[in-house]
Amino acid sequence: MKKLLTTLVLVCTLAAVGTAQSTAPAAPAATVVPDVIVSGYKAFLASGYAAAVAAWSANSPLAIDGATLAGISNVLLNESNLGGNFVGADVIRVVNLSASAELVYALTRYQHGMLFMSFTCYKPSPTDKWLVTVIDVDKDPAKILPTNILGGL
């Protein structure tokens, strides 16, 4: 009887653990980073922030928005002056919104500092390349990253 009761408790416990695990939020699906983002960071490493901004804005509405590009360039330049040389970037998350829209959240790393960046990417048709239509950048992660990323989900 004691052995049957112990087995029953063990089975119930395992069933409860299995149920709890199945209701946990799923890990975000891995998504490929759009080439335009990768190209921009490669240009940054090879030739500096101006080359990165040019790569990110190529063939995009951003290319004709001089004020926005100047603002992004100023932030990247100021961080270079304060934080040292650009050393790399970490993609935090790629959020696939649809077949033609993605958000890319990244950490831009300098020797002594970092910037959080968000890129809104658009693909007009399946055969087209990704374009960056919006770039947001700030030192404060709360101004760039959504709460579900800041909360660790």
- Summarised one tens digit per residue, pLDDT across range 68-122 is 889 999 899 888 888 889 999 999 999 999 999 999 999 999 999 999 999 999 9
Amino acid identity at 76 = L
The two beta strands, 86-98 and 101-110, are antiparallel
pLDDT at 83 (0 to 100): 84
**CATH of 35-150 given 3.90.25, 3.90.320, 3.10.450, 1.10.10:** 3.10.450
- pLDDT tops 80 at residue 18: no
- pLDDT tops 90 at residue 30: no
44 CA to centre of own chain: 17
Please return the burial class of 131, using the count of CB atoms within 10 Å of its CB with bins 0-12, 13-18 and 19+.
buried
Domain boundaries, the chain: 35-150
**Which residue has 């069933």 as its token pair?**
15
Per-residue pLDDT, averaged over 120-139, amounts to 95
Residue range 53-67, pLDDT digits in tens: 999 999 998 888 888
Whether the CB-CB separation of 36 and 121 falls below 8 Å is answered with yes
How many CA atoms within 13 Å lie on the side-chain side of 136?
12
Q: Cα Rg for the chain, rounded, in angstroms?
A: 22
**Residue 24, both tokens:** 């946990």
Q: Show contacts of 134-141: CB within 8 Å, 24+ apart.
A: 134/62, 135/56, 135/62, 135/68, 135/72, 137/72, 137/75, 137/76, 137/108, 138/75, 139/79, 139/113, 139/114, 139/115, 140/116, 141/116
Band (pLDDT 50/70/90 cuts) for residue 41 is very high
How many other CB atoms are there within 10 angstroms of residue 15's CB atom? 10
pLDDT at 46 (0 to 100): 96
